[in-house]
Structure 1
C-alpha cells in the first residue's frame, strides 16, 4: 500500500503516550493556538503545530502543516501526536505517515483524556505570570 490510511495509524492510550514522551518521544499538539494557550500537557519536548484553523467559514486545514512539522522534526524522529479528543490527531498522523514520517503515534482521547486521567497540565498564562515575578 503506497499511502497510509487511518487503518495504519497506531493509536495509543494516554498512559502509553506519557511513557513514550517521558522516554524521549516528541509531542506535537495539533490543536489551535487558542486551545493550546488555554492549557496543554506539562511535558518536555512539546510543540504546537495546528492541524486546523478556525476561520469565519468554519474549520479549515492548515495548508502549511506538513511543511511546519518537517521544519521542526526529521522523518525518523519518534513523535506522539495529540489534539483535544483524538480526531484531528488521527488525521494529522495519517498525513505525517503519508509524508514519510516513520515513528508516529496518535494519542487516543487527546488532551481531554490526559486531564481525565489526572496527568499534569500547564497553562501558558501561569508561565507568563511566573516570568514577570
Structure 2
C-alpha cells in the first residue's frame, strides 16, 4: 500500500518536538531563529518577525549554504502555513544533525488567528 502525505506527516510528528504558538512566541523572545518553510509567495504576504524563508521543497539543498543555519545546536522554530510542511521540515533538519528544532503547531495560520505580531518585510536571505 502506498503512503499518503498524511502518513508522512504523522510519521514525522512521532519523532519531532512541537510547541504551541504561545510557546513559540516565548522561544522567539529567548532568541530562537524562526524558519519559515512556506513558498516565497506565502512568505512575502506576511511572516513572523525576523523569520528567514527556506521553502520545504528546497530545504535539503539550501540549509548548508544559508549563513543563519550554520550552527546546528541553535534553537530553531520551524513553521509553515498549517503545520504539515513544518513537521516534515523539522524531521529533515533533525536528520541533517540539527539538535534543537521545534515545529510550531497550527503554523502561520494559528499565529495570525491569535493576533501575534507579523511583518511583510522582505526576506533577509531568500534564494
Map 1:85-104 to 2 at 5 A.
85-104=82-101
Aligned alpha-carbon RMSD (Å): 1.8
Larger Rg: 1
The change in CA–CA distance for 1:37 and 1:19 in structure 2 (over 3 A counts) is same
Q: TM-score, normalised to structure 1's length?
A: 0.75
Matched length: 110
**Which consecutive unaligned segments of at least 5 residues does structure 1 have?**
53-60, 126-133
Higher strand share: 1
Residues 59, 89 of structure 2: 8 Å contact kept: no
Show CA shifts across 1:32-66 (max 9, x none): 1110001111x23x2111112xxxxxxxx555144
Residues 79, 107 of structure 2: 8 Å contact kept: yes
Alignment counterpart, residue 56 of structure 2, candidates 40, 51, 70:
51
Residues 81, 93 of structure 1: 8 Å contact kept: yes
User: Offset of 1:112 from its aligned partner?
Assistant: 0.1
Residue 19 of structure 2 is aligned to residue 23 of structure 1: no
**Which consecutive unaligned segments of at least 5 residues does structure 2 have?**
1-10, 123-127
